[in-house]
Amino acid sequence: MIQEINFDGIIGPSHNYAGLSPGNLAATRNAGATAQPRAAALQGIAKMRANLALGLTQGILLPHPRPDHRWLAALHTNYESAAAHLQARALSASPMWAANAATVSPAPDTEDGRCHLTVANLVTMPHRSHEWPATLAQLRLAFADPGFVVHDPIPAPFGDEGAANHMRLTSTHGDAGIEIFVYGEAGGPFPARQHREASEAVARAHRLDPARTLLVEQSPEAIAAGAFHNDVVAVANERTLFAHEQAFADRDGFYADLRRLMPEVEIVEVPAARVSLADAIQSYLFNAQLVTAGTGAQTLVVPAEARENAAVWGWLQEHLAGNGPIRAVEVVDVRESMANGGGPACLRLRVACDPALVDPRFLVDAQKLDRLAAVIAAHWPEAIAFDAIGDPALIEQITQARRALVEALDLVGLIDR
């Protein structure tokens, strides 16, 4: 009964380019640009449609209430009188990147046979540090069945950024797997966002078998180059690990451990001589969704930027022409998310479980996506210039837009906090 569900974050009506994430090169490069929230959200809906067309099961997570008035109140201010940098942090639409919502361990991996989720604390960045209460409320509603355990966040100061730093390898999604926690130590001028202590704590909370759990250090070179999460340089699906040559501090030791624990593992490594770290990060080659389509073929869902990068696209075509495990590549347009530093994989949280145990309001089909697209088209702002984030009329539109979405999903009063 277990299958993988991709829960995509719906891009919220406050989507803007405030450049709040040091180390995220795209976000800082586009700081101050005019964002297109309506187009961004519709691009996300189109990506979910493409997943359904591949035969995948699709879920959603909703944008959070923005501005976050409770966070501002805890700072003894309000949106109208807050400093501009606090306004920007309170208005951030970053919950759209559901890969940072939680870390997930499916039931076959856990001692108690339940699917465990730990909400990420995101303490490294101020604009993300106040996300977890609203995320936790959604997770506890979507996964209320006794087959799930939803944990509180790991306490500060141990930074935990969720599934973006976690991979799972297994013969099939319903079999016991190898869980891989990737942490950082240093990255030149940029902060390492995933702490080893947080990863160890999540593994204990999820009651994982230590013999089938690996803690792996992300390479400082990757962090310094702009790989602020592991999923910018590596992604896994079933028995395939797809990674850049420079993704890990001790790649040889990591690969040896993998082959010892899972002899059938297929490691697809992209050489730095073919695709540089800079090209991998610019194109988000590895921040792709590596999925098993309904046909059984492993498929890589990449952003359009990967097709536009000659080195990246050339390597992909060569791999497809060979006998490697990745048999197809699908291209999606998520340019608005990419410009803020998040590719296809950032937008989704993978949960391997029985879909019948999930609150159906968080699962979508083509018809429900049609309804959501209509709400977005009618209510999301068409554009947000950075210097408009204090405009009361814009704030009212953002508030009403999210309310319309919550009403359309019959979740009024259940996920505001």
Active site residues: 161, 229, 346
The answer to whether 111 and 102 are in contact (CB under 8 A) is no
The answer to whether 163 and 104 are in contact (CB under 8 A) is yes
DSSP of 252-286? HHHHHHHHHH-TT-EEEEE-TTTS-HHHHHHHTSS
Give me the helices (H) in 130-269, please: 132-142, 196-205, 220-225, 251-261
Selection from 401, 416, 349, 411 nearest residue 133 by Cα = 416
Q: What is the token pair recorded at 410?
A: 């019959």
The answer to whether 94 and 18 are in contact (CB under 8 A) is no
The answer to whether 351 and 149 are in contact (CB under 8 A) is no
Please calculate the CA angle 95-99-104 and round it to the nearest 5 degrees: 120
Q: In which residue are the tokens 């299958």 written?
A: 3
Residue 327: phi, psi to the nearest 5? -105, -10
H/E stretch holding 246 reads none
Q: Report the DSSP pairing between strands 289-292 and 298-303.
A: antiparallel
Q: How far apart are CA 382 and CA 133, in angstroms?
A: 28
